Amino acid sequence: MSLPSGISPRFILLLLGSLPLLARAQSGAAVRGEVRETGGSASPVPGAVVRWLLPGGASGPTTTTDGAGVFTLPFPAQAKPRLVVSAVGYTADTLAVPTTGTPYLRVSLRGGTALNEVTVTAKALSYSAKSVSSLQTISARDLTKSACCNLAESFETNAAVEVSTADAVSGAKQIQLLGLDGAYSLLTIDNQPALRGLSAPYRLGYLAGPWIGSIDIIKGTGSVVNGYEGISGQVNVQLKEPDLTDQLLLNAYVNDLGKFDLNAVASQRFNKKWSNVLLLHNDHLSNRVDRNGDGFLDLPLATQFNGYDKLKYKSGTGLVAELGVGAIHETRQGGQLNFRENEADAYRTAYGTTQTTNRYTAQARTSYTWPGRPFQSLGLLVNGTSHDFTSTYSFRQDSGPRLYNGHQNTGQATLLFQSVIGDTRHTYRTGLSFLYDDYREQLSNGDTPALLAASTHLLRTERVPGAFAEYTYANTRNLTVVAGLRTDYHNLYGWQVTPRFNLKYDVRPATSLRLSAGRGFRVPNPIADNAAMLASARQYYIAQNIQPEKAWNLGGSLTQYFQVLGRPATLVVDYYNTIFQNQLVADMYTTPQYIILDNLTPGTRSFARSAQAEVQAEPLKGLQVKAAYKWLDVQSTYAGQLLPKPLTPQNRAFLNLGYASAFDKWRADLTVQWYGERPLAHLPADGVGGGHAHGTGTAGLEYAPRYAALNAQLTRAFKRLEVYVGVENLTNYRQPDPIQNAATPFSSGFDAAMVWGPVYGRLTYAGLRYRID
């Protein structure tokens, strides 16, 4: 049989080969698959663009991976199509698709080349698409965008956490999450509670930046496995792992105030099973600097020696064990330029503060995973801490200095079992825990012992056995639900029940909704939680019979993946409301001579509302943009009046621009943080005073002005060496009077704790990193 004129045999063969694809296109058949990172975590990559590449180079139908990294893409009608996969920070690559059957593709993203895998160079997304809770990760790469000498400086390029100076004398830093002080967020190291209790005033300086592998920030109440204390969220610091980190990392830093930091990270891989990492840190400032001319040091003289060693064992047959031990010795001296600690009657001659801290820690983690059952494991987590400090503050010349000393011993243990019910759609975790805290605090105002009414709270021993269970349902497509409950018996406060709930639902392939609700519980440490007030003339008044703080946290977030200039981007909008059933309120409004620490009375309110919108994108190759806006409404009842919490700005804006050239030879980063007005408490009584008059409502409040802070850093990378220079507070903005009545520090109007802005102005720095892989 002859063919019609103009129709070749080749056309007929092409048509016959296309029939299966035409049938698929008409019937709605599709290729399905998932895009994940390679490695042990195998984390999904959300927002990856998956499109058909048709013969002749034309583009076909396009989709994006959902929050779990899963995609579905209908077959085109053309023959021999190929898939192109691209994502933020990834090198696009193509993938051949089988033309028979119903293919399900598992795409692994990693460096190098491998058969049937996509080759990419990755910059991981900050927001986790897999986590059921609102989880944001600060990677080791992110930590190099600023100096990051310690944990306090690790949040400078992050919009979720605010870091502020506690007072203008001690140099202590504190964080806020969802508008609440860091005491309300659970701080963990390697997923074990750490740096709790009396370490709160200076804890952000106890972890060196180069030690950190990553930081996970969870908003809202997290898992019941981690305890009952996380009311506003959790900050987990993952220290560098012995078997994964560089053999050697050396970091040196110096700034124009004369402060230097030295860090060393050294790992040893003895064999396939045993590895070790040694973390060392030293910082020192001996230069007396007073840039604002108020007669006080802008930063305290300080020296810290800090070391931590982590040993790891992996049997290869399911058993993994880790043991870590650490020690810290730190001294600080602040106050007036002419203060000398060793001089006779030093604390009456000039205003000064001194602190000495000795801290020892140990923690162990052991887990066993059943062979052939990767979903079933048994783990034991144990840690212990001894924290001891002494501190002295000039107070009144007639009565002598104010003393605050403390000692804390802590032991914690958690036994955890994990398995499935039927199949991996239904998993559960259950276990037992025990917490031991022994507190010994002493405070005296001059020669007079203080706080006798609260002495039983300052000398207390807590023993808290507990049990917990958590169930997770995941349908592998678009829904994950986690419901947990724990019950603890506190030897001082009786039974405590902590329910928590988290839900993640993928509304559309590129849209994810998260909801969370839960209860938190914590025993406050009145002085340590408000240690900044020690640097003022205010006296502490702590009510009798202090009760634990209890709160509900409700909220959620919406994550949308989209494209900007053809490149993937992410929008995250969240809202959280923390409602206190009971809180120890620090009242600086009611009377100027005191900070009054008392529980909420029946019928009064305390809450924190937080709303944030953040966009992350890479509009051009090598350029990453993060922009965010946050609104806070934090109020408590002070002697019958509902007023905003002092020093908490209602509005905040954030912008981070990061550029990296080819092969990361040059990196440039710029961060802009804008702070709105924030309420101020009035000064201690000095005959002139000023500030809020209690009874006038919010109309009588004073507010700090708006301001912006700009930070920038430039990094040049060589084969094993990185050199960086940077500037903080580029515009040299300063709070005009960070210390009130600095000329009369022994008067009743002295206050160094009402700090809302930069103290020492512009800061320039330089440093280097040397590494051996």
Secondary structure class of 553 (helix, strand, coil): strand
C-beta of residue 581 within 8 angstroms of C-beta of residue 551: yes
DSSP string, 182-194: GGGEEEEETTEE-
C-beta of residue 310 within 8 angstroms of C-beta of residue 324: yes
C-beta of residue 378 within 8 angstroms of C-beta of residue 359: no
pLDDT at 578 over 50: yes
Give the amino acid at 312: K
**Across 648-654, average pLDDT:** 96
Hey, which of 67-81, 633-647, 690-704 has the most confident mean pLDDT? 633-647
Q: 100-109, 160-169, 534-543 — which is least confidently predicted?
A: 100-109
Cα–Cα distance measured from residue 160 to residue 153, given in angstroms and rounded to the nearest whole number: 14
Query: Residue 629's closest CA among 657, 656, 654?
Result: 654
Cα–Cα distance measured from residue 1 to residue 40, given in angstroms and rounded to the nearest whole number: 61
Non-local CB neighbours of 160 within 8 Å, separated by 6+ positions: 136, 177, 217, 219, 612
Query: Residue 53's closest CA among 15, 115, 97, 106?
Result: 97
DSSP secondary structure code for residue 466 in this structure: E
Q: For position 51, what pLDDT does the model report? A: 79
Q: For position 10, what pLDDT does the model report? A: 44
Non-local CB neighbours of 372 within 8 Å, separated by 6+ positions: none
C-beta of residue 552 within 8 angstroms of C-beta of residue 578: yes
Please report which confidence band the pLDDT of residue 289 belongs to, taking 50, 70 and 90 as the band edges: very high
* Residue 557 Cα distances to 127, 218, 503, 612, angstroms: 11, 12, 10, 9
Residues in the chain: 773
More confident residue, 397 or 216: 216
More confident residue, 23 or 364: 364
DSSP string, 6-38: T--HHHHHHHHHHHHHHHHHHHT-EEEEEEEE-
C-beta of residue 680 within 8 angstroms of C-beta of residue 703: yes
* Residue 345 Cα distances to 405, 534, 536, 691, 752, angstroms: 20, 19, 20, 34, 22
* Sheet containing 118-119: order of strands: 70-74, 30-37, 104-110, 118-119
Phi and psi at 662, nearest 5°, equal -55, 135
Q: 107-116, 214-223, 251-260, 690-699 — which is least confidently predicted?
A: 107-116
Percent of all residues in the chain with a pLDDT value above 70, rounded to a whole number: 86
Residue 731 half-sphere exposure toward CB, CA atoms < 13 A: 14
Cα–Cα distance measured from residue 126 to residue 215, given in angstroms and rounded to the nearest whole number: 10
Tell me whether strands 400-421 and 448-449 are parallel, antiparallel or unpaired: unpaired
Q: For position 116, what pLDDT does the model report? A: 35
Non-local CB neighbours of 586 within 8 Å, separated by 6+ positions: 529, 530, 533, 595, 596, 597
Q: For position 25, what pLDDT does the model report? A: 38
Cα–Cα distance measured from residue 146 to residue 368, given in angstroms and rounded to the nearest whole number: 38
More confident residue, 181 or 113: 181
Query: Residue 163's closest CA among 152, 179, 172?
Result: 152
Please report which confidence band the pLDDT of residue 262 belongs to, taking 50, 70 and 90 as the band edges: very high
CATH of domain 134-772: 2.40.170.20
CATH T-level assignment (fold) for domain 9-119: Immunoglobulin-like (2.60.40)
DSSP secondary structure code for residue 448 in this structure: E
What are the pLDDT digits (tens) for 161-208? 999 989 999 889 999 999 999 999 999 999 999 999 999 999 999 999
**Across 291-297, average pLDDT:** 94
**Across 721-750, average pLDDT:** 94
Cα–Cα distance measured from residue 734 to residue 740, given in angstroms and rounded to the nearest whole number: 14
Strands (E), 42-172: 49-53, 59-64, 70-74, 82-86, 93-96, 104-110, 118-119, 134-139, 161-165
Q: 3-17, 149-163, 312-326 — which is least confidently predicted?
A: 3-17
> Which residue ranges make up each domain of the chain?
9-119, 134-772
Secondary structure class of 152 (helix, strand, coil): helix
Cα–Cα distance measured from residue 378 to residue 380, given in angstroms and rounded to the nearest whole number: 7
**Mean model confidence pLDDT for the chain:** 87
C-beta of residue 663 within 8 angstroms of C-beta of residue 702: no
Percent of all residues in the chain with a pLDDT value above 90, rounded to a whole number: 65
Q: For position 504, what pLDDT does the model report? A: 94
pLDDT at 407 over 90: yes
Q: For position 644, what pLDDT does the model report? A: 95
Query: Residue 52's closest CA among 42, 67, 62?
Result: 62
Q: pTM for this one?
A: 0.83
Phi and psi at 38, nearest 5°, equal -80, 170
pLDDT at 14 over 60: no
